[in-house]
């Protein structure tokens, strides 16, 4: 993964969990060569990576809480489910959790305390999309990590299918961008001015 930050490139380099010490033990030359192999245009710049303090390790976790709520507490977004950066969907899920929470709890919040049963409705609505996205991310990670051991560099079968059928490419794009259960803010009835004044 490469991100152009205007005055520098941010590079994401996937390694097996717990493998960073092994990468460091081999030294900078193999590390730099591996980056150039993936992105040859960086050959003249990769020498800038000359100190391990310039390399930041991001430990990826894919997990979720069994129970998202207790009396007086509801966890959503990253607090409820840790997502991998794969697909960049973590923020999408967090926002959709928030929208679902607003839709489900707006009425109950007008007369606190909110019953636990109402909080549980949010988890019931948002847990299965989270499980599905995390399953897809797990498959992606297995595929990426598997390349290093099997030598497979070609695209997966499903990716080749979408590549061969351009009109169908919007399907994975929509799945990644919108998720399996898109949330929309409901138009909830407003209280009257008299009630608001009270």
How many other C-beta atoms are found inside a 10 Å radius of the C-beta of residue 17?
10
Which helix (H) or strand (E) segment holds residue 9: the answer is strand 9-11
Q: Which pLDDT does position 1 carry in this prediction?
A: 66
Say if CB 185 and CB 99 are below 8 A apart: yes
Do β-strands 69-70 and 2-4 pair in parallel, antiparallel, or remain unpaired? unpaired
Residue 103 in tokens: 């839709």
Which helix (H) or strand (E) segment holds residue 13: the answer is none
Domain spans of the chain, in order of start? 2-54, 68-178
- Write out pLDDT tens, residues 7-56: 887 777 778 778 889 999 998 899 899 888 888 888 888 888 888 888 88
Residue 98 pLDDT class (50, 70, 90 cuts): very high
Task: Kindly tell me the burial class for residue 3, based on how many C-beta atoms sit within 10 Å of its own C-beta (0-12, 13-18, 19 or more).
Answer: exposed
Tell me: pLDDT of 184 over 50. Answer: yes
Residue 19 in tokens: 């493998």
* Gap between the Cα atoms of 49 and 41, Å rounded: 15
Q: What is the largest CA-CA distance in the chain?
A: 73
């Amino acid at each position: 993964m490469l991100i152009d930050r205007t005055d520098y490139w941010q590079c994401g380099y996937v390694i097996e969990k717990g493998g960073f010490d092994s990468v460091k033990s081999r030294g900078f030359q193999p590390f730099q060569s591996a980056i150039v192999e993936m992105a040859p245009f960086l050959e003249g710049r990769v020498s800038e990576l000359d100190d391990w303090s310039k390399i930041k390790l991001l430990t990826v976790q894919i997990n979720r809480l069994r129970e998202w709520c207790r009396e007086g507490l509801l966890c959503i977004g990253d607090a409820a489910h840790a997502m991998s950066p794969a697909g960049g969907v973590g923020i999408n899920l967090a926002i959709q959790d928030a929208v679902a929470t607003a839709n489900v709890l707006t009425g109950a919040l007008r007369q606190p305390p909110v019953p636990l049963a109402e909080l549980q409705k949010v988890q019931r609505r948002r847990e299965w999309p989270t499980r599905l996205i995390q399953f897809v991310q797990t498959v992606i990670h297995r595929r990426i990590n598997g390349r290093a051991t099997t030598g497979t560099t070609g695209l997966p079968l499903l990716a080749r299918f979408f590549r061969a059928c351009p009109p169908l490419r919007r399907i994975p794009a929509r799945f990644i961008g919108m998720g399996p259960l898109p949330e929309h803010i409901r138009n909830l009835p407003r209280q009257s001015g008299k009630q608001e004044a009270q």
